[in-house]
Amino acid sequence: MFHQEIHSDLAPKAIGPYSQGIKVGDFVYLSGMLPVNPETGLIESSDIKEQTQQVFNNILAVLSSLGCDLSHVVKTTVYMKDLSMFNDMNEVYAMFFEKPYPARSCVEVARLPKDALVEIECFVIDTVRYERQSQGCGGCGGGCNDGCCEDGCCE
């Protein structure tokens, strides 16, 4: 099976033997993102809203390395240290998605790495090349490769 490692220097480095994400075909699996500042390697806030914001900053950095955004996310799993903070986490979470919202699971766990309050993993479908094709690229019938025409007929 062919798979590609996904990596962004703008997101925190993995703190173990795993990748920030793996792409197989059009499917992308992002590892759980912690609220770690990629510049310092630290969790800089003990506030659930601020931690959730940092998690999404990290998710966006990894998605951006693919040319994707949050509209490509089809499923998330949210891990929380304390579900009594759910409403505050959910308030920030809701700022990042539009309908149709991705499917989601949310579970309380005993502990997260680095004592984070929240961790979010994502399942993504990379449809960027199909989106390009639907915007006029790929319809010329002459040498199109991966959604962009080699001979410039779709430009």
| Alpha carbons 149 and 104: distance in angstroms, whole number | 37
Q: Which residues are catalytic?
A: 106
Residue 80 per-residue DSSP state? E
Question: Percent helix, strand, coil in the chain (nearest 5)?
Answer: 25, 30, 45
DSSP H/E element including 142: none
User: Which amino acid is residue 86, in one-letter code?
Assistant: F
For residues 43, 10, 40 and 22, what is the CA-based torsion angle, rounded to 10 degrees?
60
Residue pair 27/6 in contact (Cβ under 8 Å)? The answer is: no
Do 56 and 92 form a contact (C-beta atoms < 8 A)?
Answer: yes
